[in-house]
Amino acid sequence: MQKSHIRNFCIIAHIDHGKSTLADRFLEITNTVDARHLKAQTLDSMELEKEKGITIKLKAVRLAYKKDNQDYQLNLIDTPGHVDFSYEVSRSLAACEGALLVVDATQGIQAQTVSNIYKALDANLTIIPVINKVDLPSSNVERVAEDMAATFGFSKEEIVKVSAKTGIGVKELLDLVVERIPAPRGSENAVSRALVFDTFYDEYLGVVAIVKVEDGSFSRDLITTRKKIKFLATDSDSIPEDIGILIPGRKSIDALGTGEVGYIATGFKDIHQVRVGDTVSLASSDGVVALPGYKEIKPFVFVSIFPIENDRFPDLREALDKLSLSDASMSYEPESSSALGFGFRCGFLGLLHTDVVQERLEREYNLELISTIPSVEYQLTLNNGEETSVKTASEFPERSRIREVREPFILLNIVTPSSYVGGIITLCESRRGIQKRMEYPTPDRVIFEYELPLIELVYNFFDELKTVSSGFASLDYEFLGYRPVDVVKLDILVHGDIVEPLSRLVLRSKAVESGKEVLKKLKEILPRQQFKVALQAAIGGKIVAREDISSVGKNVLAKMSGGH
């Protein structure tokens, strides 16, 4: 295929605005998937994605399209919409020249819409604005079009109106993809280089890298002549097992040329030898310059995961190894607990990310797991000047040894209907939020910008936001940095013994309140014994709260028989 006839584009939008349904229509119109085999959210192959109705993993698929009697190759990448999976969006943008920005005609602009368009602009992509769900009775197409024009500077004429469900306007949208999105850059005669933007593991082929060829080509001759490819970041080389495209299943082809998207089965059995964002080239080429990769993603939320049966620990390690291959943002390291045995301290990008990984471990690898409460990473400066970080209360040193503690802060963007302004301001202020911006792009919609400690977001912030806004507010956030905070370690004692997994780091000003809250919950959960059990909360050995579980009263008449 000539490079001038290739179009690489992605679909970006807020969660549930119809990205995957639009991708279904593209598959149908281009006859990529037979209508008999087409089902709702075809590209969402993961059981969990279908169940939750969300996209978790980015998907790449090649579409063959004809316009004005010319054949075109369209490489579509469907991306997640939830804030926890925004790193998947940034990965897909690096493989594209254009993006369809989809906005729901019933909901209008949401927080992830704003976030994603800035990511696309930073990546120098050509953006085609699309309003979806125009067929619904509750849609307000004109108002949403005005809002998009006012917020992002589009002209109302360039906004495309479609219904992904019924197919209205979708064929015209594909024509616009060909007309407006530029062909890939890159040289067909330069040294072969490709960007790895996703990976997965195949039991037979080993690590399979999803790539976009930036320069040159990768042909099947590599396999037949046993020539090696090289991954620059990990300095690993291998003879490829297969080269092909996704339609959406795998299909072997003769070559991947400049600008094309496809896969290379590396043959590696060690999943750590291929890294997302790496550059792959021919091992025989010298002085190859690596392509700009991705910003290293740092996990924000940390949870300890333990198998309920301790002898399943090796299975948990293997499952995490395989999951981490396609999830570059997840981190994990072994840890042990006297109460829970051997497990892993895992880092995630948010609470939904945490839930999804834990559910995938349980379903796909048949594991029964128990997890601790989420925490964040604190940075410490000790009195001797040493810098360290802690992710759990058990790692927290004696307070007298610490000069300063710093906690992670985020920049939080909230988009909400204006009728919920009061409740949202109250919520953010109660969570130590600092308001930086409050804008009314339209009279009935407000955009807030708050600086907020990450730990406040972790503890049910999203649920409370949905409650105070009747489910209409949406949020997006990015990491800001670390700021000083006064925290202490709160220990929980049951019958005089410290239970380490229940220890937590809390604000000194809220320590007593937090202690009482934990003890109250424990009192409801723990069964009564034959003796009174004392529950205590302590800071540095000083008891700050107490609850007692009364003993089970003895029935002294139990052995007596009546009538004698």
CATH no. for residue 175?
3.40.50.300
Quick one: 31 and 123 in the same domain?
yes
Residue 463 lies in a domain: yes
State the sign of the Cα–Cα–Cα–Cα dihedral 187, 191, 194, 195: negative
Quick one: which of 70, 82, 141, 136 has its CA closest to 113? 82
Q: Round the average pLDDT of the chain to a whole number and report it.
A: 84
pLDDT of residue 297 exceeding 60, the answer is: yes
The secondary structure of residue 3, as a DSSP letter, is G
Q: Which of 296-310, 374-388, 477-491 has the lowest mean pLDDT?
A: 296-310
Helices (H), 409-471: 421-430, 454-458, 461-468
Quick one: 474 and 496 in the same domain?
no
User: What's the token pair of residue 84?
Assistant: 């926890």
Residue 530 lies in a domain: yes
Quick one: 143 and 30 in the same domain?
yes
Residue 187 lies in a domain: no
| Confidence at 161, pLDDT banded by 50, 70, 90 | very high
Residue 218 lies in a domain: yes
Query: What pLDDT is stored for residue 51 in this prediction?
Result: 46
Quick one: 305 and 386 in the same domain?
no
Quick one: 480 and 505 in the same domain?
no
Query: How would you classify the pairing of strands 6-13 and 98-104?
Result: parallel
The Cα 265–Cα 201 span in angstroms is 9
The Cα 532–Cα 529 span in angstroms is 7
The Cα 306–Cα 395 span in angstroms is 18
Query: What pLDDT is stored for residue 86 in this prediction?
Result: 56
| Confidence at 479, pLDDT banded by 50, 70, 90 | confident
Quick one: 453 and 395 in the same domain?
yes
Per-position DSSP letters for 186-222, written without gaps between them: --TTSPPEEEEEEEEEETTTEEEEEEEEEES-EETHH
The Cα 101–Cα 92 span in angstroms is 14
Q: What own/partner pairs with CB < 8 Å and gap ≥ 24 does 115-123 have?
A: 115/83, 115/86, 115/413, 115/476, 115/478, 116/12, 116/13, 116/14, 116/86, 116/89, 117/12, 117/152, 119/12, 119/86, 119/89, 119/90, 119/93, 120/12, 120/93, 123/90, 123/93, 123/94, 123/96
Query: How would you classify the pairing of strands 279-282 and 193-202?
Result: antiparallel
Quick one: which of 142, 151, 141, 146 has its CA closest to 121? 151
Residue 185 lies in a domain: no
Query: What pLDDT is stored for residue 247 in this prediction?
Result: 86
Mean of pLDDT values over 263-272? 85
The tens digit of pLDDT for each residue in 307-357 reads 988 899 999 999 998 887 666 678 899 988 777 789 999 988 877 788 888
Quick one: 403 and 423 in the same domain?
yes
Q: What is the pTM of this model?
A: 0.75
Query: What pLDDT is stored for residue 81 in this prediction?
Result: 46
Distances (CA, A) of 426 to 214, 431, 436: 50, 9, 15
185: burial class by Cβ within 10 Å (0-12, 13-18, 19+)?
exposed
**Max avg pLDDT among 75-84, 327-336, 438-447:** 438-447
Which amino acid is present at 240? Answer: P
Quick one: which of 317, 330, 234, 230 has its CA closest to 275? 234
| Confidence at 99, pLDDT banded by 50, 70, 90 | very high
Quick one: which of 366, 313, 316 has its CA closest to 341? 313
pLDDT of residue 12 exceeding 50, the answer is: yes
pLDDT of residue 180 exceeding 50, the answer is: yes
pLDDT of residue 564 exceeding 90, the answer is: no
The Cα 107–Cα 73 span in angstroms is 33
498 phi, psi to nearest 5 deg: -70, 130
| Dihedral, 137, 472, 347, 41 alpha carbons, nearest 10 | -10
Q: Report the Cα 555 to chain-centroid distance in Å.
A: 56
Looking up residue 358, the CATH number of its domain turns out to be 3.30.70.870
Quick one: 315 and 433 in the same domain?
no
Query: What pLDDT is stored for residue 38 in this prediction?
Result: 57
pLDDT of residue 101 exceeding 90, the answer is: yes
Residues 483/433, Cβ–Cβ less than 8 Å: no
For the chain, what is the total number of helices (H) and then of strands (E)?
Answer: 13, 32
Which domain range does residue 132 map to? 3-180
Residue with tokens 């075809």: 42
Quick one: 412 and 467 in the same domain?
yes
Query: What pLDDT is stored for residue 562 in this prediction?
Result: 55
Residue at which a domain ends, from 153, 180, 207: 180
Mean of pLDDT values over 136-152? 91
Looking up residue 505, the CATH number of its domain turns out to be 3.30.70.2570
The tens digit of pLDDT for each residue in 495-530 reads 888 877 778 888 988 889 888 988 888 888 878 788
Residue at which a domain ends, from 453, 468, 484: 484
Mean of pLDDT values over 10-28? 84
The secondary structure of residue 414, as a DSSP letter, is E
The tens digit of pLDDT for each residue in 529-554 reads 888 888 889 988 889 888 888 887 66
Distances (CA, A) of 337 to 3, 371, 562: 56, 12, 52
Quick one: 429 and 455 in the same domain?
yes
Domain count of the fold of the chain: 5
| Confidence at 89, pLDDT banded by 50, 70, 90 | low
Residues 378/487, Cβ–Cβ less than 8 Å: yes
Residue 469 lies in a domain: yes
Quick one: 36 and 109 in the same domain?
yes
Looking up residue 442, the CATH number of its domain turns out to be 3.30.70.240
The secondary structure of residue 541, as a DSSP letter, is T
Residue at which a domain ends, from 464, 484, 504: 484
Beta pairing partners, 476:
413
| Confidence at 196, pLDDT banded by 50, 70, 90 | confident
Residue 210 lies in a domain: yes
Query: What pLDDT is stored for residue 17 in this prediction?
Result: 79
Quick one: 384 and 531 in the same domain?
no
User: What's the token pair of residue 314?
Assistant: 């090796």
Looking up residue 227, the CATH number of its domain turns out to be 2.40.30.10
339 phi, psi to nearest 5 deg: -90, -35
Query: How would you classify the pairing of strands 375-376 and 387-390?
Result: unpaired
